Copies of this chain bind each other. A is one copy, B any other.
């Protein structure tokens, strides 16, 4: 079904380009009867929006969602929900220079080859981080659907920026994650992260980081082995976010260094419910949810757009050349990513909840 779609029963179909008329997404398969309007989606979009603080790009985008279909009298109808954001008239001129000069770390070069020079390269076109706004639109519906029907909630927050690591995450401080600019529950780490980002920008450079995401309230047994395990489908969706280069569940790579007797989570009963003492599995065993919170960590590379001059090629002549990309860039995309990760994870969980028959086709 091609690369513009994801999901089987809660399906998202992406369209639009960074500097085209709009960016948009269709959600097909959302049950009928979910109360939904633009105001359910806009707050999550606003959390992703640039220009919110001094550590993000100063580009101003209004990012106002419009729903074009699938809603009637304030409820979903069961028909495809098409949503979009109109792009403002952005200045495409600065991008003329990269037509033949691929920026290091960007999709420019492989996209040129694949699409034979026909791709819309302005502002990275289809490969722009701007497309994550569409993931948020689709995911915001999933967030509401999961909360209303199954009580599933998903939170994502910054846990590392560069070499600064947050500590002491608690349910309480995670709840306030959006109160600081870097979206990090550990306020002391947040302050250091902010300084590191400002420092990186000052030196014309950029930073990467890690987002952690926790989904709680899942029923036991979601996922479809072998190839549609929760890990498979979550990672597939998460790697669709530009700049993501690593994904791990539960104890992840650190678990590879543990012994089986340590890493195995023992079963016990708490309040009449089967739980595990530890959660090294990150809530997933055999690709199925085991009722514990799903824990996934997502590694973002440092933003490819840096203000420094970089060496590259003019592929029209194969001559080495220096490139200084003008424009205002995010020195670190991580602070804008938590709502994206929350939404992407929710999309996958909504799809699997419907596939598992846990959400009916009509909500009463």
Contact = CB atoms under 8 A, between A and B. Distances in A.
A105 B264 contact: yes
A260 B116 contact: no
Interface stretch (A41-49, A68-76, A148-156): A68-76
A20 to B, nearest CB: 5
Contact of A239 (B24, B111, B231): B231
B253 A210 contact: yes
Interface stretch (A51-59, A182-190, A294-302): A294-302
A251 B291 CA distance: 33
A172 to B, nearest CB: 26
Nearest to A5: B227
B110 A16 contact: no
Contacts of A26: 4, 13, 15, 26
A14 to B, nearest CB: 5
Interface in A64-96: 68-70, 72-73, 75-82, 84
Given A3-B224, A236-B236, A256-B160, A68 B15 contact: yes
A351 to B, nearest CB: 11
How many copies of this chain sit in the oligomeric assembly? 4
Interface in A1-36: 1-6, 8-9, 11-17, 20-22, 24, 26, 28-29, 32-33
A126 interface: yes
A3 B305 contact: no
A324 to B, nearest CB: 12
Nearest to A79: B126
A176 interface: no
B235 A70 contact: no
Interface string A268-298: 1100101010001110011111110000000
A228 B3 contact: yes
Contacts of A20: 68-69, 72
Contacts of A315: 274
Given A208-B263, A285-B107, A126 B235 contact: no
Contact of A257 (B163, B227, B233): B163
Interface residues of A, number: 151
Contacts of A259: 162, 200, 205-207, 302
Contacts of A102: 267
Contacts of A289: 110
B228 A2 contact: yes
A232 B227 contact: no
Interface in A217-273: 220-229, 231-233, 235-237, 239-240, 242, 244-253, 255-269, 272
A361 interface: yes
12 contacts: A4-B79, A16-B68, A32-B116, A33-B118, A77-B119, A77-B120, A109-B220, A231-B245, A232-B235, A248-B299, A251-B301, A267-B313
Given A3-B227, A15-B81, A245-B248, 19 more contacts: A1-B11, A5-B5, A6-B227, A13-B80, A16-B82, A21-B69, A72-B125, A78-B115, A115-B362, A127-B225, A163-B257, A210-B253, A235-B235, A245-B281, A246-B253, A247-B247, A268-B313, A274-B315, A357-B357
Closest 4 CB pairs of A and B: A107-B286, A3-B224, A114-B221, A206-B260
